[in-house]
């Protein structure tokens, strides 16, 4: 369980003890973890706060029908897979979910690029930030990739990793100490110097590092949730956002198991080939020895196709 304050724990217990009678669809597997903070990274978490719809809602929207109908579950699954396979996205938009997420600011800046969502973030203009910042595990430290300007290369050896972690921890600690001095408040909210004025919080926050944790409520529909996972659960995504996407994948598997399975089969673990790449596959199936120069593919496209084909 993620680390939360005693006050938040009391609120969580109170929320989970509540129940309501409803005629709308509920999902028992998702109800089991409703409000529960699922840990991510060193101080982060994801909580399911609310949701609407289930696999049946997708089928209902596609057929524009009343209720669940009398069709067999296998027929519903077949329809959902058809919709996913042929990119009929609007039925998936009938399901929505609201998440409470605690995450480092530099991951929040990546995450917010997914603009098809409703977001409300904790404001450091009004509230004092907790003294929590993300520190990578030693095995996640790596050199800059020589072939990918956005990625990591080989892992850094243990001795150098320890020195780097000391620098990262020291910089963050110093920044937080300066922040507390500027707002004239310690970790318990007490004035550090009663005789000294406190700088406005909206100004004091500007020196904090991107490793600082923030929180937000994030609400989106299932189609856009799948789009988020397609990009962020991919092996090429940055590790720190990928682990959040992995938790969301587990949530989706509980919430809409049929749609989630179709997404993983056709999107997450499926591939999309260009016309030229399909022609390469066809030529090879005919037994031809295909050279890149005869395909119209760039060197990068050729290498990606070879990777996909396991060559």
pLDDT at 281: 96
For residue 176, give its domain range: 135-210
Q: Residue-wise over 265-300: b if at least 16 C-beta within 10 A, else e?
A: ebbeeeeeeeeebeebeeeeeeeeebeeeebebeee
pLDDT band at 114 (very low <50, low <70, confident <90, very high): very high
- Shared-domain flag, residues 97 and 60: yes
pLDDT band at 163 (very low <50, low <70, confident <90, very high): very high
User: What's the pTM?
Assistant: 0.89
- Rounded to an integer, the average pLDDT of 118-124 is 94
- Shared-domain flag, residues 155 and 165: yes
> Does residue 18 have a pLDDT over 90?
no
pLDDT at 303: 94
Percent of the chain with pLDDT over 70: 97
16-20, 184-188, 229-233, 261-265: which has the minimum mean pLDDT?
16-20
201 is catalytic: no
- Shared-domain flag, residues 299 and 241: no
pLDDT band at 30 (very low <50, low <70, confident <90, very high): very high
Number of domains the chain is built from? 3
- Shared-domain flag, residues 257 and 163: no
Write the CATH number for 244.
Answer: 3.30.1360.170
- Shared-domain flag, residues 174 and 86: no
> Does residue 83 have a pLDDT over 80?
yes
- Shared-domain flag, residues 174 and 39: no
Output 146 or 123, whichever has higher pLDDT.
Answer: 123
> Does residue 265 have a pLDDT over 60?
yes
Q: Is the Cβ–Cβ distance between 211 and 136 less than 8 Å?
A: no
- Shared-domain flag, residues 86 and 16: yes
- Rounded to an integer, the average pLDDT of 114-125 is 93
pLDDT at 229: 97
- Shared-domain flag, residues 75 and 178: no
pLDDT tens across 201-213, in order? 999 999 999 999 9
Question: How much is the mean pLDDT over the chain?
Answer: 92
> Does residue 71 have a pLDDT over 80?
no
Which distant-in-sequence residues (6+ apart) come within 8 Å of 240 by Cβ? 41, 104, 106, 107, 134, 136
Residue 60 token pair: 């209902």
Of 210, 225, 252, which residue is a domain's last?
210
Of 210, 231, 257, which residue is a domain's last?
210
> Does residue 67 have a pLDDT over 80?
no
- Shared-domain flag, residues 107 and 240: yes
Annotated catalytic residue, options 47, 201, 205, 232: 232
- Shared-domain flag, residues 184 and 103: no
37-46, 63-72, 84-93, 125-134: which has the minimum mean pLDDT?
63-72
pLDDT at 86: 94
- Shared-domain flag, residues 142 and 237: no
pLDDT tens across 266-307, in order? 999 998 999 999 999 999 999 999 999 999 999 999 999 999
- Shared-domain flag, residues 246 and 205: no
Secondary structure (DSSP) of 202-270: HHHGGG--TTBEEEEEEEEEHHHHHHHHHHHSSTTS-HHHHHHHHHHHHHHHHH-HHHHHHHIIIIIS-
pLDDT band at 74 (very low <50, low <70, confident <90, very high): confident
> Does residue 66 have a pLDDT over 90?
no
Kindly report the backbone phi and psi dihedral angles of residue 291, in degrees, each rounded to the nearest multiple of 5, phi listed first: -100, 145
């Amino acid at each position: 369980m993620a680390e939360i304050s005693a006050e938040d724990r009391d609120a969580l217990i109170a929320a989970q003890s509540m129940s309501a009678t409803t005629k709308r669809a509920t999902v028992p597997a998702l109800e089991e973890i409703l409000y529960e903070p699922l840990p991510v990274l060193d101080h982060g978490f994801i909580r399911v706060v609310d949701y609407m719809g289930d696999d049946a809602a997708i089928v209902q929207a596609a057929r524009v029908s009343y209720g669940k109908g009398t069709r067999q579950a296998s027929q519903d699954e077949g329809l959902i897979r058809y919709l996913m396979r042929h990119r009929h996205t609007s039925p998936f938009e009938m399901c929505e979910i609201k998440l409470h997420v605690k995450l480092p600011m530099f991951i929040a800046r990546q995450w917010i690029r997914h603009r098809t969502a409703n977001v409300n973030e904790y404001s450091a203009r009004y509230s004092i930030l907790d003294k929590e910042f993300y520190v990578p595990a030693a095995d996640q430290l790596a050199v800059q990739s020589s072939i990918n300007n956005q990625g990591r290369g080989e892992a850094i050896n243990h001795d150098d990793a320890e020195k780097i972690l000391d620098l990262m921890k020291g910089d963050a600690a110093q920044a937080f100490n300066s922040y507390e001095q500027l707002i004239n408040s310690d970790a318990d909210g007490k004035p550090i110097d009663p005789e000294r004025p406190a700088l406005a919080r909206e100004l004091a926050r500007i020196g904090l590092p991107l490793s600082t944790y923030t929180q937000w409520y994030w609400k989106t529909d299932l189609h856009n949730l799948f789009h988020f996972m397609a990009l962020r659960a991919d092996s090429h995504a940055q590790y720190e956002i990928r682990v959040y996407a992995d938790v969301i994948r587990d949530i989706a598997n509980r919430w809409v198991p049929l749609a989630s399975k179709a997404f993983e089969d056709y999107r997450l673990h499926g591939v999309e080939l260009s016309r030229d790449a399909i022609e390469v596959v066809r030529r090879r199936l005919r037994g031809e020895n295909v050279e890149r120069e005869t395909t119209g593919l760039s060197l990068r496209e050729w290498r990606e196709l070879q990777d996909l084909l396991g060559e």
